[in-house]
């Protein structure tokens, strides 16, 4: 018999029963949770269970039944996606784990979006999560020849283009001054200064910095080699290191030499004695941003700051896109407004061309006098022409009036 259950992130009743082939079936009933709707939910659950058996008897179950979990396990094994995709899969699993792919319809995708929006998730994040789902389905259809529909197709929310927040030089200095003090407070996130500097000077994401292994640092070529699994893209890339970034890495190495010399990580976790890396720095960062009076700045805004400073200092959007390791220039266009000051300098350069556009004082007076005379003459000509036109009009009118019976 079909049983009812509820999920924390869903406002509806769900049902669970054993299908004709012994499979565990879990479906959303799209009936709101509440004691007054329980009877209706149970009735619908029973109808769905009967429908499953009817479909099996009629041969509709001849095709293999693939579950959401089968899809994601296989896709992860084949594609070995990065942390960003794995996080998306975890959030998708909260909504679809245990469900058969053929039972996931457009209404389920709409419900998923509604739940996420209600919890404050942005359209861009929802779009990223559902895109991961869609990519896995497309891969299964192409590589494994699964005969399945893609319920995400045509249902991605519109992408939101926004102006990225970034730190001014003065605000960045406030952060640095506060973090310098914390370096001498071992129980107050002393590693935050080096993290902050690497984020500002490389544009690397939080997860990329914290999961960085010592073997990925190339001092000879002054760069960091990033694996495909560490970033959003699927390609291996490298990001250059300037002097400030190298100085921050050197401080980390000094720390490692005294605290955990056998660690593999640039940011080892003190609690694990270097066996694992730090997983997050949000708590310490939040404390500092409140201390310096910038409560709305997020860790990811350090990456926006890196990009904004590049553009403000004259680098093109194409160069900035490459520095951010974006797959296309489109995401980088949010920084286009920052090119204004650089373009103003470009326009100002035209004032240096060897052409004398300035008028001398006597030329100004002469030209003004000539312009005034020409203007007055033009007005007299227009007035005379208008007077002639009116006279002809009245004459024509009088003639018509005289001919009127």
Quick one: how far is CA 174 from the chain centroid?
A: 27
Identify the pLDDT of residue 78: 87
H or E element that contains 312: helix 301-312
Q: What is the DSSP letter of 67?
A: B
Q: How far apart are CA 129 and CA 85, in angstroms?
A: 8
Distances (CA, A) of 143 to 21, 74, 85, 138: 26, 11, 19, 8
Q: What are phi and psi of 24, to 5 degrees?
A: -85, 110
Contact 223, 238 (CB under 8 A): yes
Structural domains of the chain, ranges and CATH numbers in brackets: 3-143 (no CATH), 169-347 (1.10.443.10)
Q: How many helices (H) and strands (E) does the chain have?
A: 14, 6
Distances (CA, A) of 336 to 299, 326, 327, 387: 22, 15, 17, 55
Identify the pLDDT of residue 250: 94
Quick one: how far is CA 292 from the chain centroid?
A: 26
Contact 245, 198 (CB under 8 A): yes
Identify the pLDDT of residue 223: 93
Per-residue three-class SS string for 335-403: HHHHHHHHHHHHHHHHHHCCCCCCCCHHHHHHHHHHHHHHHHHHHHHHHHHHHHHHHHHHHHHHHHHHC
Identify the pLDDT of residue 404: 43
- Walk along the chain (405 residues) and give the pLDDT tens digit of each residue: 889 988 877 788 889 888 887 878 888 888 888 889 999 999 999 998 888 888 777 766 656 678 899 899 989 988 888 777 888 999 999 999 889 998 999 999 999 999 999 998 888 899 999 999 999 999 999 988 888 899 999 999 987 765 557 899 999 999 999 999 888 776 667 789 999 999 999 999 998 999 999 999 999 999 999 877 666 655 778 899 999 999 999 999 999 999 889 999 999 988 888 889 998 898 889 889 999 998 788 898 999 999 989 988 888 888 888 888 887 777 777 777 676 766 666 667 666 767 766 666 655 555 566 667 777 777 766 666 655 555 554 454 444 444 444
């Amino acid at each position: 018999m079909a049983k009812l259950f509820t999920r924390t992130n869903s406002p509806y009743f769900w049902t669970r029963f054993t299908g004709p082939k012994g499979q565990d079936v879990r479906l959303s009933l799209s009936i709101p949770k509440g004691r007054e709707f329980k009877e209706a939910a149970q009735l619908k659950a029973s109808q769905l269970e009967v429908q499953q058996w009817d479909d099996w008897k009629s041969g509709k179950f001849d095709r293999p039944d693939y579950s959401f979990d089968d899809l994601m396990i296989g896709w992860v094994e084949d594609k070995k996606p990065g942390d960003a995709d794995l996080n998306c899969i975890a959030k998708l699993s909260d909504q679809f784990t245990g469900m058969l792919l053929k039972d996931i319809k457009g209404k389920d995708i709409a419900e998923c979006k509604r739940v996420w929006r209600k919890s404050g998730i942005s359209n861009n994040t929802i779009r990223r999560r559902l895109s991961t789902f869609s990519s896995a389905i497309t891969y299964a259809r192409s590589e494994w020849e699964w005969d399945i529909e893609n319920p995400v197709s045509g249902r991605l929310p519109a992408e939101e283009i926004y102006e990225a927040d970034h730190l001014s030089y003065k605000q960045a200095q406030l952060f640095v001054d506060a973090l310098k003090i914390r370096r001498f407070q071992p129980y107050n996130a002393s590693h935050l200064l080096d993290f902050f500097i690497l984020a500002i000077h490389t544009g690397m994401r939080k997860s990329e910095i914290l999961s960085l292994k010592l073997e990925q640092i190339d001092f000879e070529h002054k760069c960091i080699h990033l694996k495909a699994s560490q970033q959003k893209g699927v390609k291996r890339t490298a990001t250059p290191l300037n002097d400030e970034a190298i100085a921050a890495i050197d401080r980390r190495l000094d720390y490692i030499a005294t605290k955990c010399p056998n660690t593999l990580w640039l940011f080892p976790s003190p609690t694990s004695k270097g066996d694992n890396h730090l997983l997050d720095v949000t708590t310490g960062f939040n404390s500092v941003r409140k201390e310096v009076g910038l409560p709305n700045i997020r860790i990811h805004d350090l990456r926006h700051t890196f990009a904004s400073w590049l553009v403000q200092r004259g680098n093109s959007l194409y160069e900035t896109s490459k520095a951010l390791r974006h797959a296309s220039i489109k995401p980088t266009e949010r920084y286009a407004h920052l090119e204004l000051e650089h373009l103003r300098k470009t326009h100002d350069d035209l004032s240096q061309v060897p052409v004398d556009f300035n008028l001398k004082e006597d030329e100004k007076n002469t030209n003004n006098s000539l312009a005034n005379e020409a203007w007055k003459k033009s007005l007299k000509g227009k007035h005379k022409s208008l007077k002639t036109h009116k006279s002809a009009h009245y004459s024509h009118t009088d003639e018509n009036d005289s001919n009127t019976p």
